[in-house]
Amino acid sequence: MSDTKKIFLLDAYALIYRAYYAFIRAPRINSKKLNTSAIYGFTNALLEVLQKEKPSHLAVAFDPAGPTFRHKMYEPYKAQREATPEDIKLAVPYIKRLLEALNIPILEVSGYEADDVIGTISLKAERAGFEVFMMTPDKDYAQLVSDNIKMFKPRSRSGGVDVLGVAEVQEKFAVEKPEQVIDILALMGDASDNIPGCPGIGEKGARDIIKQYKNIPGIYEHINEFKGKRKENLIEFKEQVELSYTLATICREVPIEFNEDDLQVSEADSDKLMPLLEELEFKSLMARFGYESTPVVTAAPAQGDLFTQPQIEQAPVFASSLKTINDTAHAYYLVDNDQAYASLAADLSVQKAYCFDTETTGLDTATAELVGISFSWKKGEAYYVPFPDDRKQAEALVQRFKRVLEEEEIVKIGQNLKYDIQILKNYGVHVKGKIFDTMVAHHLALPGQRNNMDFMAEVHLGYSPIKLESLIGKKGKNQQTLREVDMALAKEYAAEDADITLQLKDFLMSKLKEAGLEELFYKTEMPLLLVLADMEATGVKLDVDELKNFAGKLHQRIEALEKEIFNMAGMEFNIASPKQVGEVLFDHMKIDAKAKKTKSGQYSTGEEVLTKLKGKHEIIDKILDFRGLRKLLNTYVEALPLLVNPKTGRIHTTYNQAMVVTGRLSSTNPNLQNIPIRDEDGREIRKAFIASNEDHLFLSADYSQVELRIMAHLSRDSHMVEAFAKGEDIHAATAAKIFKVDLSDVSDDMRRKAKTANFGIIYGISAFGLAERLNVSRTEAKELIDGYFENFPDVKAYMDKSIEVARDKGYVETIFGRRRNLPDINSRNGVVRGMAERNAINAPIQGTAADIIKMAMVNIQHELRKEGLQSKMILQVHDELNFDVLKSELERVKEIVKTGMENACKLSVPLAVEMGVGSNWHQAH
DNA sequence: TAATTCACG
DNA sequence: ACGTACGTGAATTAC
């Protein structure tokens, strides 16, 4: 434990409200009809802090009854706030009694709110050399943050916290100094406190303005740089903004003493505590306080002498006596000296298989550093090797395990191994040999179920592992890293992960076997995992200048559009806000008398709705254009350059192999599977995805109509199979059939309709959906569908069969056995059932396509490697693969790719691949 | 946090 | 009578 003084200051009401509403759907009521949600939630949060944060000092600040100095300044202050719920009023005395029993001081100063008290104490404590944590969900506190004063912000759902220090506040509010948070609040206002702010300025606007002008006075010094409505508002509401500034400022000069000793954490007074908990009927909390834990004693293994033995923890105030859920005997060893390293490596080298798990400082493989590696090859026994912070030393230590990690003959087991493999690659270790990834295995064996490790351990092993969050705090930009965590705790956590993962592997192996998924898993998914690791590491080069240039053009066009739109509307508004667009269009301009409203009572202003209104007013087109361009700018043009890795100069996406229910991959951070292509403006972005240098070219290869071909194969529909066999234009061929004309007489309109119908078929068609997309009557759509099924009767038969299979087995399968569970298939709710039926039709098709391209990827990568080619596979977009090809290798690579894709599997129709080459993605298409 | 919108296959 | 084509991820607004 560190010797720094650490004080926690809790904002009582803010936490009480939060606790109360957290249970609002299922309130905790005891036998005396007392709603104890707030008391329980608050107490729990308090105990969490005492246990996990181990503060040396702690106090709880309450808002006093009656008005504060702010009410004197501004009457409506907090006026519109609803009255405190009765349940909370009743809860407060209990909470105060509880605090008393815990010997925790209550701070309450008449005329000042809790935030003022905390603001004042935090300042005094900081001066007295404390590390201060203000525990509150209220973002206003961000203004108080300094080097030694941090916000400790509980997350609303599922526990965990965000710790906001200076860096986090700077990032979250886009400010240089935390004080500027006040300026932002003054502009945007705060509805819950009834701080008015400036009309027309919201969160984003306020941030942008303060970023540029630093503070409120700065705005008014440069007021002429503002234009239009915003300028008017800023001038008109100047006084209001200034008042808001004062209201939002937390007072740090509250007349209150700071007596360190009074706030020291001390033993609870159990004579007061126990009867109170009894009265409240908090059995679980009583158990937590009353339980005298005895440590699990485990036998040391033969070589145990070398390893640091499991430590029994100290017994501090409350935390020590908490009962653990799992009593499973286990032995986890710390491996932290030369002899132990050697011994562990030697033990590993004689295993057929072992499980390993890396612990790092983050989730981003580009920046995360190794903190430790855990190993396990026997249930209940695991080893944790902590790594030094120093990079050089860490690299040296990893060398000790390089040989066992690169040993071809040993199977490596892990959860999300792609990550561990990439981390190790950064440290010069190239994991080899067969792998078994429990996350991917689970996704295959039990599709649709959550596949994070904690969940799997609970459901399948009945075991509740230590949560990482409980050690490092929950997501937030600056949660702690495992490095800061006590090594004994880190060891328990990390070793347990390896132990559990190993146990999950046994369970999942038998599940895979039962479901007949071994081949898909071992021959496709596991090799694919390695392919994806390579693709992610390679990345794709981005031409940042090209995007900068494009951004400039877009900005100009957006501004021009904005002017036009405001002119047409006769008023200014936020065009990006669906709500405001709805109001302007339908209330102000009365463009459509009977506009649709969504469930939440808003006008619907989606693309569909607006497109239908196109003829009614020019403004519609302008709004659609505006939205399109802003989307482009915000989501791609300005976002992508920020994700270029400075070390490689490339974009490295992350593929998730265990996310999509149908078996497809998904891509995040950034998503490179939804880069625009459909319209001209968007397509420009693809020009920025370039080959790695002048010696390379961008090669793009995509399957032509792969899903329809799979439908043809699955249904064995002779007409469809024949059309594909002849290499006909499938949509035209479909049109010829359903419109009963010669292939040569198919008009563009007929082809378009047939194409839409073909897509509909894949999705599990409905007359309504088809009518909607074709913009024809439902009767016409129905006729089209009937015509389709008449001409392709086997397609209809296949669809019916799929649904029948689903009803019968509860799941459907791809050609290669990948399953999708459909529990809703027998639902009495027609809508829900209809959805499941369409899934029954679509999943085998989409899933088979996913299986096929995965097999192709594995084959292609294998071939590229085998021939020692330098060209690299860099992107996968569902039915498309992209490569960075060395010019001299182009012809050979094209051959490998084409064969690899076309021969990925044998169907009753040929698989066709189209390829293109250029200096960038755009050209290659 | 949920809903809305829109980018892709 | 109801709500309606399959599968995703990201940004934003508004609650």
User: If DSSP states are collapsed to H, E and C, what string results for A229-252?
Assistant: HHHHHHHHCHHHHHHHHHHHCCCC
Long-range contacts of A519-522 (CB under 8 A, 24+ apart): A519/A816, A519/A817, A520/A444, A520/A816, A520/A817, A520/A818, A520/A851, A521/A440, A521/A441, A521/A444, A522/A434
Whether the CB of A270 is less than 7 Å away from nucleic strand C comes out as no
Lowest average pLDDT, out of A170-179, A241-250, A255-264, goes to: A170-179
Q: How confident is the model at residue A915 (pLDDT cuts 50, 70, 90)?
A: very high
Residues A446 and A585 occupy one common structural domain: no
Residues A492 and A372 occupy one common structural domain: yes
Å: A608 CA to B2 C1': 21
Which sign, positive or negative, has the C-alpha torsion A511, A514, A517, A518?
Answer: positive
3-state secondary structure A806-844: HHHHCEEECCCCCEEECHHHHCCCHHHHHHHHHHHHHHH
What strands, in cross-sheet order, belong to the sheet with A5-11? A106-107, A57-61, A5-11, A130-135, A149-154, A161-164
Å: A837 CA to C6 C1': 11
Task: Classify residue A902: in a domain, yes or no.
Answer: no
- pLDDT tens figures, A300-318: 444 445 665 444 333 333 3
Residues A479 and A552 occupy one common structural domain: no
Per-range mean pLDDT, top range of A235-244, A434-443, A613-622: A434-443
Task: Classify residue A701: in a domain, yes or no.
Answer: no
Whether the CB of A916 is less than 7 Å away from nucleic strand C comes out as no
Residue A853: which nucleotide is closest by CA–C1'? B9
Residues A548 and A431 occupy one common structural domain: no
Q: How confident is the model at residue A295 (pLDDT cuts 50, 70, 90)?
A: very low
Whether the CB of A830 is less than 7 Å away from nucleic strand C comes out as yes
Last residue of one domain, picked from the residues A838, A868, A887:
A838
Burial A48-70 (b: 16+ CB within 10 A, else e): bbbbbbbbbbbbbbbbeeeebeb
Can you give the CATH number for the domain in which A643 is found?
A: 1.20.1060.10
**Range 827-846, chain A: CB under 7 Å to any strand B atom:** 846
Nucleotides of C under 7 A from a protein CB: 1-15
Do A622 and A404 form a contact (C-beta atoms < 8 A)? no
**Range 215-234, chain A: CB under 7 Å to any strand C atom:** none
Q: How confident is the model at residue A733 (pLDDT cuts 50, 70, 90)?
A: very high
Whether the CB of A449 is less than 7 Å away from nucleic strand C comes out as no
Half-sphere exposure of residue A111: CA atoms within 13 angstroms, side-chain side:
8
Is the pLDDT at A494 greater than 60, yes or no?
yes
Q: What is the mean pLDDT of residues A594-605?
A: 58
**Range 834-873, chain A: CB under 7 Å to any strand C atom:** 834-835, 838-839, 842-843, 846
Note the pLDDT of residue A596: 56
Note the pLDDT of residue A479: 66
Residues A371 and A490 occupy one common structural domain: yes
Residue A603: which nucleotide is closest by CA–C1'? B4
Backbone angles phi, psi at A670, to 5 degrees: -95, 170
- Cα separation, A610 vs A617, in Å, equals 10
Å: A580 CA to B5 C1': 14
Is the pLDDT at A23 greater than 80, yes or no?
no
Contacts of A127 (CB under 8 A, 6+ apart): none
Can you give the CATH number for the domain in which A37 is found?
A: 3.40.50.1010
Q: How confident is the model at residue A87 (pLDDT cuts 50, 70, 90)?
A: confident
Residues A582 and A443 occupy one common structural domain: no
Residues A487 and A630 occupy one common structural domain: no
Å: A147 CA to C6 C1': 51
**Range 746-765, chain A: CB under 7 Å to any strand C atom:** 756-757, 759-761, 763-765
Note the pLDDT of residue A292: 34
Note the pLDDT of residue A390: 95
Whether the CB of A176 is less than 7 Å away from nucleic strand B comes out as no
Å: A708 CA to B6 C1': 25
Å: A64 CA to C6 C1': 56
Whether the CB of A666 is less than 7 Å away from nucleic strand C comes out as yes
Nucleotide C13's nearest residue (CA vs C1') is A577
Residue A448: which nucleotide is closest by CA–C1'? C7
Lowest average pLDDT, out of A5-14, A185-194, A861-870, goes to: A185-194
Task: Classify residue A202: in a domain, yes or no.
Answer: no
**Range 571-600, chain A: CB under 7 Å to any strand C atom:** 574, 576-580, 600
Last residue of one domain, picked from the residues A838, A861, A884:
A838
Nucleotide B9's nearest residue (CA vs C1') is A878
Task: Classify residue A159: in a domain, yes or no.
Answer: yes
Nucleotide B7's nearest residue (CA vs C1') is A674
Å: A444 CA to B1 C1': 30
Note the pLDDT of residue A708: 96
Q: What is the mean pLDDT of residues A147-158?
A: 78
Residues A35 and A144 occupy one common structural domain: yes
Whether the CB of A156 is less than 7 Å away from nucleic strand C comes out as no
Report CA-CA distances (Å) from A51 to A152, A269, A272, A320, A546: 15, 17, 20, 8, 53
Lowest average pLDDT, out of A60-74, A298-312, A593-607, A618-632, goes to: A298-312
Whether the CB of A627 is less than 7 Å away from nucleic strand B comes out as yes
Task: Classify residue A68: in a domain, yes or no.
Answer: yes
- DSSP at A311: P
Angle of the A86-101 helix axis to the A37-48 helix axis, nearest 10:
40
Nucleotide B8's nearest residue (CA vs C1') is A674
Residues A506 and A611 occupy one common structural domain: no
Can you give the CATH number for the domain in which A508 is found?
A: 3.30.420.10
Residues A633 and A498 occupy one common structural domain: no
Residues A493 and A608 occupy one common structural domain: no
Last residue of one domain, picked from the residues A236, A263, A290:
A263
- Percent of chain A residues past pLDDT 90, beyond the cut: 56
Joined together, the tokens standing for residue A210 give 């303060």
Nucleotide B6's nearest residue (CA vs C1') is A631
Whether the CB of A374 is less than 7 Å away from nucleic strand C comes out as no
Is the pLDDT at A193 greater than 80, yes or no?
no
Residues A719 and A824 occupy one common structural domain: yes
A4 or A638, which is more confident: A638
Task: Classify residue A759: in a domain, yes or no.
Answer: yes
Å: A777 CA to C2 C1': 19
Domain count within chain A: 4
- pLDDT tens figures, A429-474: 999 999 999 999 999 999 988 888 988 988 888 888 888 877 877 6
Task: Classify residue A174: in a domain, yes or no.
Answer: no
Whether the CB of A664 is less than 7 Å away from nucleic strand C comes out as yes
Task: Classify residue A339: in a domain, yes or no.
Answer: yes
Residue A769: which nucleotide is closest by CA–C1'? C5
Do A649 and A693 form a contact (C-beta atoms < 8 A)? no
Give the angle subtended at the CA of A154 by the CAs of A152 and A160, to the nearest 5°: 105
Q: How confident is the model at residue A299 (pLDDT cuts 50, 70, 90)?
A: very low
Nucleotides of B under 7 A from a protein CB: 1, 3-9
Whether the CB of A628 is less than 7 Å away from nucleic strand B comes out as yes
Q: How confident is the model at residue A290 (pLDDT cuts 50, 70, 90)?
A: low
Residue A830: which nucleotide is closest by CA–C1'? C2
Whether the CB of A600 is less than 7 Å away from nucleic strand B comes out as yes
Beta bridge partners of A540: A651
How many CB atoms are closer than 10 A to CB A73? Answer: 11
- For A601, the domain range is 541-651
